[in-house]
Structure 1
Amino acid sequence: MNFKSMFRAIRFVWERAKLWVICSIIFAIVSGLAPVALVWVMKELINTVAVIIQQESADFSGAFILLSIQFSIMLLSSIMDGLKSFMDDKVQIVLEHDLKALSSRKAMAAPYSFYDIPEFYNHLERVTGSPGAKFLTPLRNLLNIGEAAIKIVSFLVFLFTIHWILVVISVFGAIPIFIVQAIYGRKNFWLMFMQTPAAREINYIEYLMNNKQAAKETRLFGIADYLLGRWSKKYQKNASEKLALIKRQQYAEIGLDSLTALMYAGAALVIIWLIRTTTVKIGEFVAIGQAVQGTQEAIGQISNNLARLYEDSFYIRDYFEFLDFEESRIGHQSGTLPFPAALEKGIRFENVSYRYPNANNDTLDNISFTIKQGEKIAIVGENGSGKTTLVNLLFGLYQPTKGLIFYDGIDMTKISEKELHKNTTVIFQDFIRYSFRASENIAVGKELDQINEQKMKQAARLSGADKFIEEFEEGYDTQLGRFLTQGEELSGGQWQKMAIARALYRDSQVIVLDEPTASLDPISELEIYNQFQQITREKTVLYISHRMSAARFADRILVMENGRIKELGTHEELMQVKGSYYDMYNTQAQWYQTETGLRGSG
C-alpha cells in the first residue's frame, strides 16, 4: 500500500470537508458501540420477559424501559445512517468537482507535446470517471475499520467474560478473508491498468459509431460492420478477462463463506457446552450467539475494508502520479519575461530541429530563417513536410529538440507562456466548432462576461461571418450547432469564417493561418485572403498551406520538403528558379487568380 498517496488523499479530503470528517468520526464511534449495547439490552430484555412469564405478579416497568432503550438505539442508528448517507453524497459531489477540475487543468496545462505520448493518454483515461468516490472511499474504509474495531473490542470483552475460547474462534476466521481480499484487490487494479489501451480503443470506436461527424463515412464507405466487429472483438476480450478474474474471486469467496460457517458452528458447540456445564440464562444464550456472529461480521468488515483500502490506494497513487506527470524528453515553456510590446526585429529560427517522442528521425531538420515585423510569409509544401510542426514550435506548443527561436532577439523559452499565447493567434485546419452562441464562438478566447460587442461585430464583419449571423432571428445570440441544443447548423465555410473572426477578435501581433481555406471554394478563398491583406497590414502573418493560392498574397514564400527549407524567396524569384515551387504552382495554376480573373472556379 502506498501510504504517502493515502495520506495525501486524506489531507486533500480534510482540507475540503473538515466537518464531514469530524461528524463521520463521531458517527463511527456511536455506530461501533450501538451493536453491543443492543446485545446487552436484548439479553436483559429476554431475561426480564422470562421472569415475567414465570412470575405472574412481576413488574412490567423494567421491560418497558428496556424496550424504550432498544427503540431509541435503533432510531438513533437509523437517523445517523440517513444523515451520514446525505453528508457522504454531498462531500463526494464536492470532491468530484475539485478532482476533475485538477485533472482537467493538468490535461489542459500539460505541454501540447504530451499528447504525442500514448502513456499520457492511457493515464488520463484511467483517472477520469468518478475520482470523488475513489478518494472518499479510503476515508470511509478507515472510518468503517474504526467502527468495526470498536464493535470487536466491545464484543470480545463481552465474550471474554463468558469464555476465552469464543474470542479465539471469532478472531481466527477473519485472517484468510483479509488475505484473499487483498490479493484480489491488487489483481483487479492491475487488470484495469493492463486493459486501459484496449478500453481507450473501445471508447474511440464507440465514438466513431455514434458520432455525427463520423456517421457520413461509416455509411458511405460501408464500414459499419467492420467497426462493430472490431469493437465487439475488443470488448469481448476485455470482458472475458474480467469475468475470468471474477470467477476465480467468487470461488475464493465461497471457500471463505464455508470457513465462516465452520467457525460459527464451532462457536455454537462452545455455547452448547457452556449450557451443559454452567448456569446460562436464555438471555445470555441469545446474546452469546449474537456477539459471536457480530464479532465475525465486524472482523470480516475490517478485512473487506482493508482490502478495498489496499485496492483504492493504487487508484489514488495513479491519480497523483498523473498530476505529477512530467516527461524528461520534452521541454516546457517556463519563461517569465513579457512578450515585446511591439515587434521590431521580428522572429528568428536558428538551427531549429524537432523530433517527436519515440521517433527515430527529426521531423524538422536544422531550420533557419527570419520573419520581419509585419511581413507576410507563406509556408508551403506537401502534407508531412513539417509545416504544422513548425507552427507548433512558433507558439511554444513544442520545444525545439535543438536550436533556438527568438522574438525580437529574446529566446522564446524565456518568455511567459501566457504572454506568448496572448500575442500570437493561429487558425488551425481542424479548428473547434464550439456549440455555443455566435458571440461566444467569436469571443471564446477572451472573458465571455466582458465581450466587447463592437470589437466582436467588427471581427465578424471583417471575416464575412456577419452576413449569415445577422440573418438569424436571434443574431449574435443564436446557438450554433446541434450537439447541445437545436441550434443553427453552419456549413464548413461558415464555420471557418467564425474561426477567422475568433482570431481577429484576439487582436494578436502574430497571426498564423494553418490551411485556412481548406473548406472554402476558390471564390471564397480569394475573398478571405483579400480581406486578410486589408486587416493585417501592420501584423506579422504566416500562411501555412499545401495550396499555392496563399503564396500570391505573401511577401516571401518558404518551401518545405522533408522537414527542411527547400526554397525561400518571393513568388517571382521562385518562379525564375523553376524548382519545387515552380512545379507546385504550375500544377495548381488553374485555381489561382490571374490578371484576367479567376479561372477554374468550377
Structure 2
Amino acid sequence: MRGVGGRGGGGRGLNGPDIPDALPFDKGERLKTFRHLGRLFAQMWRTSPWLISLSIALRLVVAIQPPLVLLFTKLIIDEVVHQTGLGVPGPALGDWLESGRLNYLMLLLAGEFVLVFARDAFNRAINVVDNILGESHSNAVSLELMQHAANLDLKHFEQSEYQDSLERARRQASSRSTVISQLFGQAQAMITAIALAAGLFIYAPLLIGLLALALIPAVWGEFKFNRLAYWISHSRSPERRQLEYLRQIGASAESAKEIKLFGLGDFLSGRFKVLSEQILIENRNLSIRRALQTGLLASISTLTYYAAYAYIVWRTLHGEFSIGTLVFLSGSFNQLNGYLQQILIGFTQIAGQSLYLDDLFGFFEIKPGIVDPKKPRPFPTPLREGIVFDNVGFRYPGSETWAIRNLSFTVAAGDTLALVGENGAGKTTIVKLLTRLYDPDEGRITIDGIDIREFALADLRTHVGAIFQDFLRYSFSASDNIGVGRIEAAADRERIVAAATQSLADAVIRKLPEGYDQMLGRTFARGHDLSGGEWQKLAIARAYMRDAEIIILDEPTAALDARAEAEVFQRFKNLAEGTTAVLISHRFSTVRMADRIVVLADGKVEEEGTHDELMANGGRYAELFELQAAGYR
C-alpha cells in the first residue's frame, strides 16, 4: 500500500491541501462531458421507456400549475375588491348566494383548489416514478459495469490506474440516475418560467432585465465550485481506494487473526484516521469557501427582488396596477426569480454531474486488447499433438524486465507436464499465457499446431480448466462452489458429486449439516467455514467439473498435507486418462509423478526430462529434490 504522506501529480500534497483557484479543465474537455448526458438518457430509456415517458408527462402537467394558480389568485382578489365596492346584498350567506354575486368567486376558488390539490398529487407521483426509475437504472448500470469488467484484460486489474478508474465508475454507478431527473426538472422549470415571464412582460418588462442581471453572479459561483468539487473527488481516487482497503482489512474475518496477533488495530485505525482527516480538511475548506462566496453572490438576487417589489408597489399606489395585479406581479417576480435561479444553477449542477458521468462512461470506453479473432477456429478435440511454446517472450505491462523469454517446450497430448522452479521463475506467467489472460510479446503458443489466438476466448477457456493457488472461496453453497467450474452445468447435481468425489471433497461436504446445500464462508447467515485444505479440495473439484481437454493445476494443493496431496494427484493420474495436464507444485514427491518435468530459471528452460533423467543429470532439479528430501529424513 502506498504511504499516506503524499502522492505525485497535481501539485498538491496531503500535508497542506491546496485547492486550485484556476479551473482544472480546459473548455474543450468540459464541453465533451456533456455528450454523456445523451448516453445516460439512452441508458435510462433502455431501462424503462414507459417510466421515462410517464415522468415527462407528469412534469408537463405540473409545469403549468404555478402561473395558473397566480392567475386565479389575481382574479380572486380583483373579484373580492370589485364585490366590496358594490355594497352588501344582505347580512346572511343566503343573501349572497341568492344574489348570485358569489358564483364567479366560488368558481375561481374551486379552480384554484383543484390546481393546488392536483399539483401535490402529481408531485408525489413524480417522486414515486423517479425513485423506481432511479433504482432500476442503478441496478442496470451496476450489471453493465460487472459485465464490462468481466470482459476486460487481466492487466486492467493488475495496474493501479485502471483500479482507480474502476473505483470511480463504481461510485458513480449507483448515484447518477438523478441527472436525468434533474434535466426533466429543468425542462419543467423552464416551461413554468416562460409562462411567468409572459405575465410579467405584459405588465412590467423592465423586471425581466433586472432578473437577468441579478442571477449571473450567483450562477457563476455555483458553476465554479461544482467543478472544483469534482476535481477534488477525481484526484483523490487513489486515496479513497486506500481508505476502502483500510476499512476492509481493518474489519474482516480474513484479516482478524493476523491483526490480533500482530496488534495492528491501532496502527491501521491510526493510518485511516490520518488519511481520512486530511481528505476531510480539503472538503471542509472547499465547503466553507463555497458557502461564503455563493452566499454573498446570492444576496444580490434578494436585493434585486425587493427593489422590483418596491417598483411594483409604487406603480400600484399611483393606480397603474390593481391590488390583484400587485399580488400577481409580486408573486410572479418572486417565483420567476426562484425558477430562473433553479434553471441556471441547475444547469451548472448538471454540468458538474456530467463531469462525474465521465468517470462512469470513461470506464466503459476502456476496451480489452485480448479479443476473439474475426474467424475463430474450432478447438481440436481430442488433442492429437499437444501444446507447444515456441520461443515465447513476455513482459508485464509497464515493466522493462522480461518475465519469460526465448521459452520453448512441448506438452504431448495426454501427458502430464510439471513446471518446477523457484519463485519468480515464470511458472504462473506460463499459465496466464496458456489461458490467454495475457498474450505473448514474442513467439507463439500452439495447440495441435494452431496458434491459441485463433480460438474464440470462450472456446479456449471451456477446453482449458485452470485452478490457481489464490482461488476464490465463494460465499455460495457447497454445490455452487463446485458448479462454477462449468456454470452451464451448475444445476447438474450428479456431475457435481462426481467432481467432488474425484477431488476428495465429497467426504468433506457430506459432513456438513446441510451437505451440498450448505452455505459456506462466514459472510452470510448459516455459513459454515472450511479449513484451507478443505477449500482447496472444493477448488480442485471445479477443475474436474470443467471436464476439459487440458487441466492446469497451479499450486492447488499447497494447503494439503503431503499424504493428501499425493492421494489427490494419484487419483488425478488414474481418473484423467487421456487428459493433457500442466502441474505446478513445490512438492517433488508430487512432481515426480509427472510424465515430463520442465525446470525453469529466470524465465527460461534450464532442464527438461523425466524425474529419473533429471536426477541422473545432477543439475538444479536434483539439487532442489535433495534439499527437500533432506527435510524429511
Alignment of 1:480-495 (within 5 A): 480-495=520-535
Return the offset for 1:219.
Answer: 0.9
Matches within 5 A, 1:355-366: 355-366=395-406
1 CA distance for matches of 2:419 and 2:372? Answer: 24
Q: How does 1:395-544 map to 2 (within 5 A)?
A: 395-447=435-487, 451-544=491-584
Residues 418-446 of structure 1 show CA distances to partners (whole Å, capped at 9, x for unaligned) of 01110111111111111111111111233
**1:372: which partner in 2?**
412
Matched residues in 2 for 1:311 and 1:18: separation? 26
Structure 1 stretch 34-43 or stretch 169-178: which is displaced more? Answer: 169-178
The ranges of structure 1 where at least 4 consecutive aligned residues each deviate by more than 6 angstroms after the TM superposition are none
Q: In structure 2, what is the equivalent of residue 10 of structure 1? A: 41
Q: How far does residue 399 in structure 1 lie from its aligned partner after superposition?
A: 0.7
Greater alpha carbon shift after TM alignment, 340-349 vs 279-288 = 279-288
Code of the residue aligned with 1:437 in structure 2: it is S
- Any idea what SS the aligned residue of 2:391 has? strand
2:477–2:516: 8 Å Cα contact kept in structure 1? Answer: yes
Matched, 1:123 2:155: no
Provide the rounded CA distance (Å) in 2 between the counterparts of 1:100 and 1:537: 43
**Change over 3 Å in CA distance of 1:265–1:149 after alignment to 2:** same
Is the 1:362–1:563 contact (alpha carbons within 8 Å) kept by the matching residues of 2? yes
Q: Is the Cα–Cα contact under 8 Å of residues 414 and 581 in structure 2 kept in the other structure?
A: yes
Q: Which residue of 2 aligns with 1:78?
A: 120
Structure 1 match to 2:359: 318
The answer to whether the 8 Å contact 2:615/2:622 transfers is: yes
Partner of residue 13, structure 2: none
1:234 is aligned, of 275, 284, 306, to 275
Q: What is the alpha-carbon distance in structure 2 between the residues aligned to residue 449 and residue 370 of structure 1?
A: 32
- What SS class does the counterpart of residue 352 from structure 1 fall into? strand
Aligned to 2:445, what secondary structure does the other structure show?
A: strand
* Correspondence 1:534-573 to 2 at 5 A: 534-573=574-613
Helix, strand or coil: the match of 1:349?
strand
Alignment partner, residue 56 of structure 1:
88
Kept in 2: contact 1:137–1:309 (CA 8 A): no
Return the offset for 1:99: 1.0
- SS state at 2:486 partner: coil
Of 293, 313, 319, 2:334 maps to 293
Gaps of 5+ in 2: 1-30, 90-95
Query: Per the alignment, in what secondary structure is the counterpart of residue 171 of structure 2?
Result: coil
The answer to whether the Cα contact below 8 Å between 2:172 and 2:357 also exists between their aligned partners in 1 is no
Question: Following the alignment from structure 1 to structure 2, what is the Cα–Cα distance between the partners of residues 479 and 450?
Answer: 15
Say whether the 8 Å CA contact 2:490–2:496 is kept in structure 1: no
Query: Could you say what the CA RMSD is over the residues aligned between the two structures, in angstroms?
Result: 1.8
| 2:72 paired residue number | 41
CA contact (8 A) 2:484 2:490 kept: no
1:308 alignment partner AA: Q
Indicate if the aligned counterparts of 2:549 and 2:579 stay in contact, CA closer than 8 A. yes
Q: What does residue 253 of structure 1 align with? A: 294
Q: State the Cα distance separating 1:13 from its structure 2 match.
A: 2.1
Aligned equivalent of 2:15: none
> Contact 1:209 / 1:227 at 8 angstroms: preserved in 2?
yes
Deviation sequence 1:557-576 (CA, Å, 0-9, x none): 11112222221111122212
CA distance in 2, matches of 1:151, 1:487: 56
1:304 maps to 2:336: no
2:401 is aligned with what amino acid? N
Letter in 1 for 2:411: I
Q: How does 1:254-269 map to 2 (within 5 A)?
A: 254-269=295-310
What is the alpha-carbon distance in structure 2 between the residues aligned to residue 550 and residue 424 of structure 1? 21
Aligned residue type for 1:83: A
Q: Which residues of structure 1 form unaligned runs of 5+?
A: 592-598
Does structure 1 residue 19 correspond to structure 2 residue 50?
yes
Asked if structure 2 preserves the Cα contact closer than 8 Å seen for 1:492 and 1:519, the reply is yes
The one-letter amino acid of 1:192's match is: S
Q: Distance in 2 between matches of 1:590 and 1:500?
A: 29
TM-score by length of 2: 0.90
Distance 1:260 1:340, change over 3 A: same
Query: What is the TM-score when the length of structure 1 is the normalising length?
Result: 0.94
**1:130 Cα deviation after fit:** 5.2
SS in 2 for 1:47: helix
Correspondent of 1:389 among 429, 432, 457: 429
**Identical-residue share of aligned pairs (%):** 31
Stretch moving more, 278-287 or 188-197: 278-287
Q: Report Cα offsets for 1:234-284 as digits up to 9, x if no partner.
A: 111222111122222111221122111111121122113212333322222
